[in-house]
Structure 1
């Protein structure tokens, strides 16, 4: 089971949490809090199933808790991940600028296999990921549907929701996502 949690503090839709789950059978499921967010996210990324219902997350210094009808997840957050210091060297306005993210994409994808900072999203959109911080995930516990999630394991194989995956070592990242419509 591979899980990507998005806790959006700011977006055109306000703050929200969504969850992308890639099940052991490779089915990709989106858990979204409402129809508007479900529509936007599922038109940007690839899913086999979309489930709409309450999704809530609480992010503290050392813990992330996610709750929905299908998922209960408790994640322990540790110290800086290996590239965190390098990420913090880049000034914020540059770290999230699409021109910068296009430029560094070839380097980023070599430093962290499967990761991209620039790519094509659904419906002809361009998407950019500007990562500012990265912290280690040191523990996890919970359930998805009726199954125990077990502990922290490498993210392998890579997730297949969009043009990029996430680092193989589970991490909590602070990222600014920019999506530019075609035209």
Structure 2
């Protein structure tokens, strides 16, 4: 089981970013970043070779880069400070969303996570454009997302190298790394994520 947070946001320049902050996983704690540039190029920024191998085998990218990835989360000030290769992003995390209040009612039990995610999937498809909570990932692997909380991302200061990516915007069009996008509204979502490998059950994030 991968337990952590997924942050998703777009920018006025057109780049869309998905950050996985995994507090607990079979690979230990780590942060990885999926980026879809304005021209549609899909990039993975991973901190280690083992993370890059697992994520790239599960999702689709045009290029994979193993680079220093550092995320400093100031819970008191509700700020995330991300440095990942060429990407610099400072996020301000706001109040719990309306969806977040509903998610707080969802049972957060690891053993039940795939069952709950399956039950929630039809609702997520209708309420959250581009979002699914179960589906088939790379190499035929089945995947489930169980979200249990959500907060708004109210502002972002993001750079790609020296290029300013502009202000925060919705994640539109949806990102194309796997069967599901993140919510169109910029958010940080608490999740339990499960992937069933074809050679046997395993657990992973995003």
Interval containing the TM-score (normalised by the shorter chain): over 0.9
The residue number in structure 1 matching 2:74 is 60
Structure ranking higher on relative contact order (CA contacts 8 Å, 6+ apart): 2
State how 1:39-118 maps to structure 2 within 5 Å.
39-61=53-75, 62-93=78-109, 97-118=113-134
Instruction: Rate the CA distance shift 1:167–1:82 in 2: closer, same or farther, 3 A.
Output: same
CA RMSD in angstroms, aligned pairs only:
1.4
The number of aligned residues is 183
In the alignment, structure 2 segments of 5+ residues that lack a partner are 1-14, 200-206
Instruction: State the TM-score, normalizing by the size of structure 2.
Output: 0.85
Confirm or deny that 1:128 pairs with 2:144: yes
Deviates more, 1:112-121 or 1:140-149: 140-149
Q: Looking at secondary structure, tell me which structure has more strand per residue.
A: 2
SS class of match (1:89): coil
- Deviation readout 1:97-149 (Å, 9 max, x if unpaired): 11121122111110111110001011111111111110000110021123112
Aligned to 1:12: 26
Please state how far the C-alpha of 1:60 moved relative to its aligned partner.
2.3
Distance across 2 between alignment mates of 1:124 and 1:145: 36
In structure 1, distance between residues paired with 2:22 and 2:47: 12
Distance 1:74 1:96, change over 3 A: farther
Q: Secondary structure at the match of 1:163?
A: coil
Relative to the length of structure 1, the TM-score reads 0.96
Runs of 4+ in 1 over 6 A off after TM superposition: none
CA shift, 1:69, in A, is 2.2
Where does the alignment leave 5 or more consecutive residues of structure 1 unmatched? none
Specify whether residues 95 and 75 from structure 1 end up closer, same or farther in structure 2 by C-alpha distance, changes over 3 A only: farther
